[in-house]
Chain A
Amino acid sequence: MPDLLIELFSEEIPARMQGKAAADLKKLVTDGLVEAGLTYASAGAFSTPRRLALSVEGLLAASPAVKEERKGPKVGAPEQALAGFLRGVGLTQDQLEARDDKKGQVWFAVIDKPGRPASEIVAEVLEQTVRNFPWPKSMRWGDGTLRWVRPLHSILCILSDEAGAEVVDLDIDGIRSGDTTHGHRFMAPDAFSVTSFDDYAAKLRRAKVVLDASERADHIWAEATNQAFAQGMEVVEDRGLLTEVAGLVEWPVVLLGKIEEQFLDLPPEVLKTSMKEHQKFFSVKNPKTGRIEQYVTVANIETADQGATILAGNGRVLSARLADGKFFWENDLRVAKAGMQPWIDALENVTFHNKLGSQKERIERIAALAREIAPAVGADPELAEQAARVAKADLSSEMVYEFPELQGLMGRYYSEAAGLPAEVAAACEEHYSPLGPSDDVPTAPVSVAVALADKIDLLTGFWAIDEKPTGSKDPFALRRAALGVIRLVLENKVSLKLTRFIDEQLLRIEMGLVEGDASDQDMQSLRDILNEIAEHGVFGAALHAVVERGEDSPGEAVEKITAGMQDNGDDLLSFFHDRLKVFLKDKGIRHDIIDACIAMEGSEDLTLLVKRAEALSKTLKTDDGENLIQGFKRANNILSAEEEKDGVSYELDPDPKFAESDEEKALFAALDQAEATIKPAMAQEDFTTAMAAMAKLRGPIDAFFEATQVNSDNQIVRRNRLCLLHRIRTICGGVADLTKIEG
């Protein structure tokens, strides 16, 4: 059982690509080997900045011989058909076997495929792998046509067993395989040959290369925390940075340095971001002061002066960078303390989207909406509007220009410096949240109002210009925005009529789109409608109210907007509902249960909707609840069938005096009782009580159907019974649309 060792040695591979490249190498090579019949015991892949390596242990020395059978033409088939088949399989007629088949005798060819030596298969598979490697970005070099992430210099490929090692011979665009590699670029650059994976790993280590990226990462982390600990400091953990740095060095040498005193008062996030983004430094915190005071840099070389020159050089670069940071910070603070107005004005020249106008226009819309939303989330409307107006001002600051990832956070610092209320400053930082499914949701009312307005404006904007997400395409992260709204609403238990705010914002956006083209009168009508939406809840009703008052007669622009508004609003609401289904599915609530609740009135209030869905889900998990559905469906199906047949609906109140059996009388009583509980409970949105009362109907309904034939010959009795079934439908239907429940 030989072992296989492959190393692809190149110029520096980007750190972010190394991990996946090693995994891809392993998958492509081992899949190729297995497909060719070479099974193996185990495989491991490794990466450093200059090499990808793969070790496959316990490989078959050759692929097993196989017999392949192929079915040919019928015995007695035309000569031409047989000749063609013989050509295809490369046999003569006397080598064929005639076998019985369903339709008579058929010629079969049995082809012996001899096994092939591992070296032959490895050479083919490796060449295929190198030529088709899935680098995220690849390049050509020199005058060749081969593509690799950076120029590929050598290929080491050997099969080894007890008898020794053998080079697997291959040549890819002039790169000939061999058994040699190189050590560290500066500390051990000479070539050396290897005979096995163990030999390779050991010789690399002697040549100042640690092959395993996780070993390099572990070493860096252990060494960094030790050195920091010795000085009473703590390294700020950063997994992503650790992985990246481990991909930048073959021989990690950890150095601890001090940040110049004059920069220690910069916001810690600025220090951290500047050091990480520009220089790949870890931040080191002094637990006594809580400040970031030192840094860890990782060099790729051991020097005679123990890294003193390297550390001094890095320190100088850092000071120059932080001097820039300090310059930005101080300039920004001057603008901030003067009220940030120049920043807000500058956003007029920043295009948000070429159809949706500038950032400034977007901020105006968000501010108007945040003010409207505020009362619903318990925020002061004045503060919410003020927060929305400054929340994106920091986009114009020098610091955010330099470090876009500090947006929001700098807004908070600058709003504090401007002396704005604490709620406003907090909203600057928090209004972007939640960014992902695991990101924290803001809870401060002003932040919630601005966060909701920001996201609803984003969604309505792209709905208005018909740039909705399709399939896997969601370039403006609209699904994430919708999920953000859902989480903001649910986790803060906010009762919010989403339709109203969707319609308001859609209208604001439509008004922006027609502004300049529409007549003054039209714009006035639209403003009037906008003002009415709050009162009427939806656009349609507001439009009616304005038209009915007869003050404005709708002009061309109004009609055009009106035509699309309703559909757009409904479509966006159902987008929210779809996202909600995905969100609740993860929480164990079935999609049909949500559908049953969406069909009910008030589904634009997501908190209410979820409360109803949770109660229904719980009820359906009980024995009574599950069986009630069957009873309800039976009642509903019979009723629907009869209604269709008779062409009438049995909406009249049934009269208990026509009840014949005890079971029928009992059902009357049970429905009265249920109704008496359900109605007030529903009025108070106490779904649990209402549904418990509904579930109790299961027994009486089942008993009724057991004992009673609905279609009595007595027409009066029959009509009365159908009206009774109608009561079941009405009472249950007031709780949820049970017809939507599957099963």
Chain B
Amino acid sequence: MAEKLQKPRSFQEIIMRLQSYWAAQGCAVLQPYDMEVGAGTFHPATTLRALGSMPWSAAYVQPSRRPTDGRYGDSPNRWQHYYQYQVIIKPSPPDLQALYLGSLEAIGIDMKMHDIRFVEDDWESPTLGAWGLGWEVWCDGMEVSQFTYFQQVGGHDCKPVSGELTYGLERLAMYVLGFDDGNEMPFNDPDAPIPLTYGDVFREAEAQYARWNFDVADTDTLLQHFKDAEAECARILAQPADDPKTGRRIVMAQPAYDQAIKASHVFNLLDARGVISVTERQAYIGRVRTLAVACADAFVQTKAGGYTPENAA
């Protein structure tokens, strides 16, 4: 433990310490999902696995994109591409708060010197048809994590309830490493032969994406992508459960969910291009939710979602 209380020296060391801490707690340490998502919650390891009765325990880094947050790499604390660290455990263990606080200690936050607080913050994702109760966790007045007990996902009651932890890695790292400008914090070890800052890694790409997101992305193409994803999602889910080729029951919840993720990201891009009016916004969010709910309905018809021939409706 003594060695863990040493301050980490880089962004990547914080990630590695979280990985080994949660691995030690028994989580399956997964890799990021290979699609563009707005937040770690979109990873099927959270959204889909929170459904149904099967136990689950996973932790992973998820690169996330919020096109409207683009600042051309000039902001000290806002990027259109950023990282979230996500932990999900089902059923939520009784000592989840203690486990979480242990993870803060693992990345060098001394509980005797800092003011850690659990401040009411109920989480809701209109696009996923999901909500939960929990807190934002404050460290010396700074929000370092979101802590949620999922109550509903994709319109389904969560039984059992999953506990979800989301760390905003940049903000957390800036605090732990002591940087006001995130671009200046070391990405790898500052004494490495080739030391790199967060800005060295991402700044240029941030400017490129900001320009594309805000001004260049072709909106007609994006609108078509949205419609295509919507249609494909519905088409996948309309297939019969029994695969005529293998003769096996294969409900394609996750391929369909990929299309929902795609639609959600395309919507975010359209939003950044400023072509969605306030009234249309709600309609688009509703369309994505319809997809997410349909995928959730499908997932509970899979084995991972708790389906057995006996409990089939």
Q: Is the CB of B140 within 8 A of A313?
A: yes
The residues of B that contact A142 with a CB separation of less than 8 Å are 91-94, 160-161
Q: Which A residue's beta carbon lies closest to that of B116? A: A186
Interface string of A5-27 (1 = CB under 8 A from B): 00000011011100000000000
Q: Which A residue's beta carbon lies closest to that of B121? A: A14
Q: Is the CB of A309 within 8 A of B135?
A: no
Q: Is B279 an interface residue (CB 8 A)?
A: yes
Q: Is the CB of A186 within 8 A of B135?
A: no
Interface-centre pick from B76, B94, B97, B141 (highest chain A CB count, 10 A): B141
Q: Is A70 an interface residue (CB 8 A)?
A: no
Q: Which B residue's beta carbon lies closest to that of A299? A: B115
State which residues 113-144 of B face A: CB under 8 Å: 113-120, 122, 132-135, 139-142
Q: Is B188 an interface residue (CB 8 A)?
A: no
Cα(A316)–Cα(B171), bound, Å: 12
Interface string of A123-160 (1 = CB under 8 A from B): 00000000000000101111100000111010000000
Q: Is B149 an interface residue (CB 8 A)?
A: yes
Q: Is A708 an interface residue (CB 8 A)?
A: no
Q: Is the CB of A309 within 8 A of B149?
A: no
The residues of A that contact B117 with a CB separation of less than 8 Å are 12, 248-249, 300
The residues of B that contact A139 with a CB separation of less than 8 Å are 132-133, 149, 151, 161
Q: Is B175 an interface residue (CB 8 A)?
A: yes
Cα(A149)–Cα(B149), bound, Å: 11
Question: What is the CB-to-nearest-CB distance from B105 to chain A, in angstroms, rounded to a whole number?
Answer: 11
**Pick the contact of B180 from A300, A316, A350 — CB < 8 Å?**
A316
Cα(A186)–Cα(B135), bound, Å: 18
Question: What is the CB-to-nearest-CB distance from A318 to chain B, in angstroms, rounded to a whole number?
Answer: 7
The residues of B that contact A191 with a CB separation of less than 8 Å are none
Q: Is B219 an interface residue (CB 8 A)?
A: no
The residues of A that contact B142 with a CB separation of less than 8 Å are 313-314, 316-317
Q: Is A310 an interface residue (CB 8 A)?
A: yes
Q: Is the CB of A140 within 8 A of B151?
A: yes
Q: Is the CB of B161 within 8 A of A279?
A: no
Question: What is the CB-to-nearest-CB distance from B170 to chain A, in angstroms, rounded to a whole number?
Answer: 12
Question: What is the CB-to-nearest-CB distance from B183 to chain A, in angstroms, rounded to a whole number?
Answer: 14
Q: Is the CB of A151 within 8 A of B278?
A: no
**Pick the contact of A143 from B91, B133, B139 — CB < 8 Å?**
B91
**Pick the contact of B160 from A143, A186, A305 — CB < 8 Å?**
A143
Q: Is the CB of B278 within 8 A of A350?
A: yes
Question: What is the CB-to-nearest-CB distance from B51 to chain A, in angstroms, rounded to a whole number?
Answer: 14
Q: Is the CB of B279 within 8 A of A313?
A: no
Q: Is A297 an interface residue (CB 8 A)?
A: yes
Interface-centre pick from A151, A307, A312 (highest chain B CB count, 10 A): A151
Q: Is A304 an interface residue (CB 8 A)?
A: yes
Q: Which A residue's beta carbon lies closest to that of B89? A: A142
In which size bucket is the chain B interface? 35 or more
Q: Is B221 an interface residue (CB 8 A)?
A: no
Interface string of A634-657 (1 = CB under 8 A from B): 000000000000000000000000
Question: What is the CB-to-nearest-CB distance from A254 to chain B, in angstroms, rounded to a whole number?
Answer: 12
The residues of B that contact A320 with a CB separation of less than 8 Å are 76-77, 180
In which size bucket is the chain A interface? 35 or more
Q: Is the CB of B115 within 8 A of A318?
A: no
The residues of B that contact A151 with a CB separation of less than 8 Å are 92, 94, 149
**Pick the contact of A354 from B120, B149, B277, B279 — CB < 8 Å?**
B279
Question: What is the CB-to-nearest-CB distance from A143 to chain B, in angstroms, rounded to a whole number?
Answer: 4
The residues of A that contact B158 with a CB separation of less than 8 Å are 140
The residues of A that contact B140 with a CB separation of less than 8 Å are 309-310, 312-314, 317
Question: What is the CB-to-nearest-CB distance from B196 to chain A, in angstroms, rounded to a whole number?
Answer: 24
Known: A140-B151, A142-B91, A350-B278. A303 touches B112 (CB 8 A): yes
Q: Is the CB of A300 within 8 A of B115?
A: yes
Known: A140-B161, A316-B180. A351 touches B279 (CB 8 A): yes
Q: Is B111 an interface residue (CB 8 A)?
A: yes
Q: Which B residue's beta carbon lies closest to that of A138? A: B133
Cα(A301)–Cα(B116), bound, Å: 9
Q: Which B residue's beta carbon lies closest to that of A14? A: B120
Q: Is the CB of A12 within 8 A of B111?
A: no
Cα(A657)–Cα(B291), bound, Å: 94
State which residues 327-380 of A face B: CB under 8 Å: 349-351, 354
Known: A314-B141, A351-B278. A304 touches B112 (CB 8 A): yes
State which residues 249-270 of B face A: CB under 8 Å: none
The residues of A that contact B278 with a CB separation of less than 8 Å are 349-351
Interface string of B142-170 (1 = CB under 8 A from A): 10000001010000001111010000000
The residues of B that contact A349 with a CB separation of less than 8 Å are 277-278
State which residues 16-49 of B face A: CB under 8 Å: none
Cα(A151)–Cα(B100), bound, Å: 15
Cα(A310)–Cα(B113), bound, Å: 7
Q: Which A residue's beta carbon lies closest to that of B282? A: A351
Q: Which A residue's beta carbon lies closest to that of B97? A: A11
Interface string of B266-285 (1 = CB under 8 A from A): 00000000000111000000
Question: What is the CB-to-nearest-CB distance from A331 to chain B, in angstroms, rounded to a whole number?
Answer: 13
Question: What is the CB-to-nearest-CB distance from A220 to chain B, in angstroms, rounded to a whole number?
Answer: 14
**Pick the contact of B114 from A137, A249, A313 — CB < 8 Å?**
A313
Cα(A313)–Cα(B114), bound, Å: 9
Q: Which A residue's beta carbon lies closest to that of B137? A: A12
The residues of B that contact A141 with a CB separation of less than 8 Å are 91-92, 149, 161, 163
Cα(A354)–Cα(B112), bound, Å: 54
Q: Is the CB of A297 within 8 A of B180?
A: no
**Pick the contact of B135 from A12, A16, A314 — CB < 8 Å?**
A12
Q: Is the CB of A137 within 8 A of B119?
A: no
Q: Is the CB of B113 within 8 A of A309?
A: yes
Cα(A101)–Cα(B91), bound, Å: 64
Cα(A631)–Cα(B114), bound, Å: 82
The residues of A that contact B163 with a CB separation of less than 8 Å are 141
The residues of A that contact B112 with a CB separation of less than 8 Å are 186, 301, 303-304
Instruction: List 16 additional contacts besides A149-B133, A309-B113, A320-B76; criterion CB under 8 Å.
Output: A12-B135, A139-B132, A139-B161, A141-B91, A141-B92, A142-B91, A150-B133, A186-B116, A297-B141, A303-B112, A304-B112, A313-B175, A317-B142, A319-B180, A320-B77, A351-B278
> 14 A-B pairs, CB-CB below 8 angstroms?
A12-B119, A141-B92, A142-B92, A143-B161, A300-B115, A301-B112, A307-B115, A310-B115, A310-B141, A314-B140, A316-B142, A320-B180, A351-B278, A354-B279
The 10 A-B residue pairs with the shortest CB-CB distance, nearest first, are A313-B140, A14-B120, A143-B160, A12-B118, A314-B141, A299-B115, A143-B91, A142-B91, A139-B133, A310-B115
